[in-house]
Amino acid sequence: MKRISLLIIICFCLLLSGCSLKQEKEYKLNLYYMDTYIYVDFFCNNKEQAEAMKTSIDSIYESYHKLSDRYNEYDDIINIYSIHNNDRKDDYLVLDPKLYDLLEYSLEFQKMTNNRFNIEIGGIIDVWKKYRELGEGIPNVKELKTADKRNKLVLLGDNKIKNNHPNLDLGAISKGYATEKVGKYLEEQGITKYLINAGGNVKVGLPNNKDYYRVGIQSPNKDGSLVTIVKGKNISVVTSGSYERNYTYQGKTYSHIIDPSTLYPAEFMKSVTVITEDSAIGDLLSTTLFLMNVDDGLEFIKNYNAEAIWVTNNDELIRSEGFSSYE
Amino acid sequence: MNKSDKILLIIITIIILVICCITFSKKSDLPKKAMVYYQNDLVLSIDLTDDSVNTYEVDGLLGKVVIEKNGSKVRVIEENSPNHICSKQGYIEESYEVLICLPNKIVIKIEAEEKIDTIVK
Query: Of A327, A298, A313, nearest to A252 (Cα)?
Result: A313
Least confident of A289-303, A312-326, B97-111: B97-111
List all residues 6 or more positions away from A158 whose beta carbon is below 8 Å from its beta carbon.
Answer: A94
Write down all domains in chain A, each with its CATH number in brackets: 24-67+177-326 (3.10.520.10), 78-162 (1.10.3980)
Which stretch of DSSP H or E encloses residue A5?
helix A2-22
Q: What average pLDDT does the structure give for chain A?
A: 91
Average pLDDT over residues A119-133: 93
- Distance from B67 to chain A by nearest Cα, in Å? 19
Q: Are residues A216 and B16, on separate chains, in Cβ contact within 8 Å?
A: no
Residue A58 half-sphere exposure toward CB, CA atoms < 13 A: 13
Q: Band of the pLDDT at A19, cuts 50, 70, 90? A: very low
- CB contact under 8 Å between A201 and B120, yes or no, is yes
Q: Is the pLDDT of residue A132 over 90?
A: no
User: Is pLDDT larger for residue A15 or for residue A289?
Assistant: A289
Between A323 and A6, the higher pLDDT residue:
A323
- The whole-number pLDDT of residue A1 equals 55
**pLDDT confidence of residue A11:** 55
Mean pLDDT of A184-196: 97
Q: What is the pLDDT of residue B102?
A: 87
Reference A222, options B91, B8, B59, B117; nearest CA is: B91
User: Which pLDDT does position A16 carry in this prediction?
Assistant: 52
Bigger pLDDT: B8 or A49? A49
CATH dotted code for B33-111: 2.60.320.10
Cβ distance A284 to A173 under 8 Å? Answer: yes
Q: Using one digit for the tens of pLDDT, what is the confidence trace for A227-279? A: 999 999 999 999 998 766 778 888 888 888 999 999 999 999 999 999 999 99
Residues in B 21-50 with any Cβ partner in A closer than 8 A:
23, 37, 39-40
**Which pLDDT score is estimated for A10?**
60
- CA B113 to chain A, closest CA, distance in angstroms equals 13
Exposed/middle/buried for A157, CB within 10 Å: 0-12, 13-18, 19+? exposed
Q: Write down the ipTM of this complex.
A: 0.74
- Per-residue pLDDT band at A8 (split at 50, 70, 90): low
The domain spans of chain B are 33-111
Q: Where are the beta strands (DSSP E) in A129-270?
A: 155-157, 160-162, 194-198, 201-204, 213-218, 226-232, 235-241, 247-249, 252-254
State residue B45 phi and psi, 5-degree precision.
-130, 125
CA–CA gap between residue B103 and residue A171 (Å, rounded): 19
Report chain B residues whose CB lies below 8 A from the CB of A213: 117-118
Nearest to B120 among A29, A207, A239 (CB): A239
Higher-confidence residue of A120 and B120: namely A120
The reply to whether residue B121 touches residue A239, judged by beta carbons under 8 angstroms, is yes
Nearest to A224 among B97, B116, B117 (CB): B97
Q: Do B120 and A216 touch (CB under 8 A)?
A: yes
pLDDT band at B28 (very low <50, low <70, confident <90, very high): very low
Task: List the beta bridge partners of residue B60.
Answer: B63
Average pLDDT, stretch A20-40? 86
Cα-Cα end-to-end distance for chain A: 55
Q: Is the pLDDT of residue B85 over 80?
A: yes
Residue B53 · residue B38 · CB < 8 Å = no
pLDDT band of residue A73 (cuts 50, 70, 90) is: very high
Cα end-to-end distance, chain B, whole Å: 64
Give the nearest chain A residue to B6 (CA atoms). Answer: A4
Helix, strand, or coil (residue B51): coil
> φ, ψ for residue A239 (rounded to 5)?
-115, 140
- H-assigned helices in A30-95: 47-68, 80-84
In the sheet that holds A92-94, the strands lie side by side as A92-94, A160-162, A155-157
- Residues A272, A265 contacting (CB under 8 angstroms): no
Q: Which of A118, A138, A122, A134 is nearest to A253 (CA)?
A: A138
Give how far Cα B118 sits from Cα of A271, A327, B97, B121, Å: 18, 15, 9, 10
Interface contact A216-B1, CB threshold 8 A: no
For residue A32, pLDDT beyond 90: yes
| Cβ separation B9–A18 shorter than 8 A | no
Residue B111 touches partner A, C-beta closer than 8 Å: no
Best CA proximity match to B10, nearest among A1, A8, A14, A13: A8
pLDDT band at B27 (very low <50, low <70, confident <90, very high): very low
Q: Is residue B29 scored above 70 in pLDDT?
A: no
Residue A146 pLDDT level (bands cut at 50, 70, 90) = very high
Tell me what pLDDT residue A254 has: 85
Judged by CB atoms closer than 8 Å, whether chains meet at A218 and B39 is answered as no
Contact A215 B121 (CB under 8 A): no
Q: In this complex, is the C-beta atom of B115 within 8 Å of any C-beta atom belonging to chain A?
A: yes
